Structure 1
Amino acid sequence: MAHAIEAPASTTAEGPTSHTQNQAAGLQMLRLEFPKDQIQALPKLWCKRCSDSRTKVCEDHRKAQCKDCGNYLTTAHVDLSYVGHAELTNRLLEADPLWDWEPVAFDQRGLPQFDENGGLWIRLTVCGHTRLGYGDAQSKKGPNAVKEAIGDALRNAAMRFGAALDLWAKSDLREAQSEHPKTAEDDGYVTGAARSADPKAAGSGSTEKETAAAAGDLDRLTGQYRSCWDNPLALAQIRLEGRKVGLKDTQVQGPPPESEWTTFDDLLAVRIAELNAGKRKNAEGSAA
């Protein structure tokens, strides 16, 4: 196996942390929200049986046209919002026309060194400051996989400058990544709450159509989490979807025997923590 040769660090990687006025303005530009027309939807299947099926739909679900991502696929999926490579590149150029990136390591041929997982570590330098990023192509092969890994790494590194940070649900992403490093996009980019399933919480401006849509979202996601109650990854993504459609603080009844009322978000957060704690305990027992 070829040994990796560490890439020389950028001259700015160890540079001073003080900002000139132009640098500060450029870095602040990275933090600006992206326009809605630049945010794309990335579908993620939460049903393992659908994922494993040759037709990508199991007998418990059906295929339909998704109004969010526009794809015709199983209903057992969530849509995670993310910013594409072109949109991010444009934002980087706006912040710093001289931005640059480099791989952390090169192989013996002088090409970027991918790790044993097929991932790529990079250094992204913007406005004289450097951050690390990591990207992968989700087991894809060929030249397009290389380009996808680079784009993924750039999005990951740019996030550490604050780019598209408003699309991240940080705590939920960490829980999902503990089981599956690539959650959306992304890296797990998600949109904020859109509407509430509780007519009172929705406010006087809510329409009957919005209330009906929210109730439909609640019924749909309730059915989803009940069917994968022992799958922490699926529950984490359903929790993200719940926040996306405004169900975070909606009151739901917990599982028996207590069947206590709690919020949609707290119900799934507690269950995910229980499942992850059980996995850690089993792992420690096996190690002992």
Structure 2
Amino acid sequence: MASAIEAPATMKAEGQTSHTLNQAAGLAKLRENFPPEQIQKLPRLRCPQCRDSRTKVCENPRHAKAECKECGNYVSVWHLHLDYVGHAELTNRLLEADPLWTWEPLAYDQRGLPQFDENGGLWIRLTVCGHTRLGYGDSQGKKGPNAVKEAIGDALRNAAMRFGAALDLWAKSDLREAQTEHPKTAEDDGYVSSPSAPSRAQRAPQAGQPQQSKGPEESREQAFARLTEQYRNCWGNALALAQIRLEGKKLGFSGERVQGPPPESAWTTFDALLEGRITEIEAQERSAA
């Protein structure tokens, strides 16, 4: 009776296997949009004096604290909201994508515990579906056990974003964060405020002041040209292309005809071009892993 012979490790099955298909499905699951009921509101103070104050409120009476009906926090009324996904919701999505997902700190201290940097931040490695990517999180200067858990959760969200998880929320939050840190620059550059944080052009004028006119909005042609230029500049970045594809879908550009890259330069739809390129980049990453 012939004995079984194990195939050499260098031999690989041709084409996609069930394992690679499961990996692709898991990675695609991470990129799915989170339902509205799983998206939470994080208040962010717009006033630098309020942020620097020990009580998180400055002396301006218009910035007094009150219970926010939108996020439920007792906070200065001079704040905006950042959309984010909580630790439990993200963990559930990771489990749906890969029940064996794991994370580890990038460095350990002398006691064998995760090493935090001089800013109180934590670098981690997140591994999902056999792929590992870095993430960074902190607890905004807080101390104690809850601060450690908050830093870990923040690092997991940051690393998961590298896989495309809640990428649309990160993009909007980055713009609103820019408004918080640099309100004049953010508004002058055309960033759109959230409803709870209207721009100067949207606020009601003070008595005796003239009504400010609203600047021209971006036309459909300008938006399409902007996204076309963006995907050309980000042709090797799957996460950036996923965000561009999402924005194009929201603006109704999915079926618009575009010309692909050389040498073929074939014409196809906006959505099909980006979907194909994202799939190509992910395949290259899988083969290199």
Q: Give the shorter-chain TM-score range.
A: 0.5 to 0.7
Local SS of the residue matching 1:105: coil
Larger relative contact order (CA 8 Å, sep ≥ 6): 1
Q: For residues 87 and 112 of structure 1, do their structure 2 counterparts lie closer, same or farther at Cα, with a shift above 3 Å needed? A: same
Q: What residue in structure 2 maps to residue 6 of structure 1?
A: none
Q: What residue in structure 2 maps to residue 94 of structure 1?
A: 96
Q: Retained in 1: the 8 A contact 2:79–2:196? A: no
- Return the letter of the residue paired with 2:47: C
Q: What residue in structure 2 maps to residue 173 of structure 1?
A: 174
Could you tell me how far 1:237 is from its partner in structure 2?
A: 9.1
Q: What residue in structure 1 maps to residue 87 of structure 2?
A: 85
Q: What residue in structure 2 maps to residue 155 of structure 1?
A: 157
- Return the letter of the residue paired with 1:50: C
Q: For residues 55 and 142 of structure 1, do their structure 2 counterparts lie closer, same or farther at Cα, with a shift above 3 Å needed? A: closer
In the aligned structure 2, how far is the partner of 1:155 from the partner of 1:174?
17
Which runs of 5 or more residues in structure 2 are unaligned?
A: 1-15, 204-211, 219-289
Q: What residue in structure 1 maps to residue 215 of structure 2?
A: 262
Q: For residues 241 and 126 of structure 1, do their structure 2 counterparts lie closer, same or farther at Cα, with a shift above 3 Å needed? A: same
Q: For residues 75 and 251 of structure 1, do their structure 2 counterparts lie closer, same or farther at Cα, with a shift above 3 Å needed? A: closer
Q: What residue in structure 2 maps to residue 107 of structure 1?
A: 109
**How many aligned positions are there?**
191
Which runs of 5 or more residues in structure 1 are unaligned?
A: 1-17, 184-230, 253-258, 266-288
Could you tell me how far 1:166 is from its partner in structure 2?
A: 1.7
Q: Retained in 1: the 8 A contact 2:120–2:138? A: yes
Q: What residue in structure 2 maps to residue 25 of structure 1?
A: 25
Deviations 1:166-217 (A, max 9, x none): 21226x727957x9xxx8xxxxxxxxxxxxxxxxxxxxxxxxxxxxxxxxxx
In the aligned structure 1, how far is the partner of 2:146 from the partner of 2:187?
27
Q: For residues 174 and 67 of structure 1, do their structure 2 counterparts lie closer, same or farther at Cα, with a shift above 3 Å needed? A: closer
Local SS of the residue matching 2:23: helix
Q: For residues 264 and 169 of structure 1, do their structure 2 counterparts lie closer, same or farther at Cα, with a shift above 3 Å needed? A: farther
Q: Percent identity?
A: 62
Q: What residue in structure 1 maps to residue 40 of structure 2?
A: 40
Q: What residue in structure 2 maps to residue 280 of structure 1?
A: none
Q: Retained in 1: the 8 A contact 2:138–2:155? A: yes
Local SS of the residue matching 1:106: coil
Q: What residue in structure 2 maps to residue 210 of structure 1?
A: none
Q: Which has the larger radius of gyration?
A: 2
Q: Retained in 1: the 8 A contact 2:176–2:194? A: no
In the aligned structure 2, how far is the partner of 1:116 from the partner of 1:55?
24
Choose the corresponding residue for 2:120, options 101, 104, 118.
118
Q: For residues 117 and 85 of structure 1, do their structure 2 counterparts lie closer, same or farther at Cα, with a shift above 3 Å needed? A: same
- Return the letter of the residue paired with 1:242: S
Could you tell me how far 1:251 is from its partner in structure 2?
A: 8.5
Deviations 1:207-241 (A, max 9, x none): xxxxxxxxxxxxxxxxxxxxxxxx61686499766
C-alpha RMSD over aligned residues: 3.7
In the aligned structure 1, how far is the partner of 2:213 from the partner of 2:197?
21
Choose the corresponding residue for 1:232, options 179, 182, 185.
182
Q: For residues 138 and 264 of structure 1, do their structure 2 counterparts lie closer, same or farther at Cα, with a shift above 3 Å needed? A: farther
Q: Retained in 2: the 8 A contact 1:131–1:157? A: yes
Choose the corresponding residue for 1:70, options 65, 69, 72.
72
In the aligned structure 2, how far is the partner of 1:163 from the partner of 1:133?
13
Local SS of the residue matching 2:141: coil
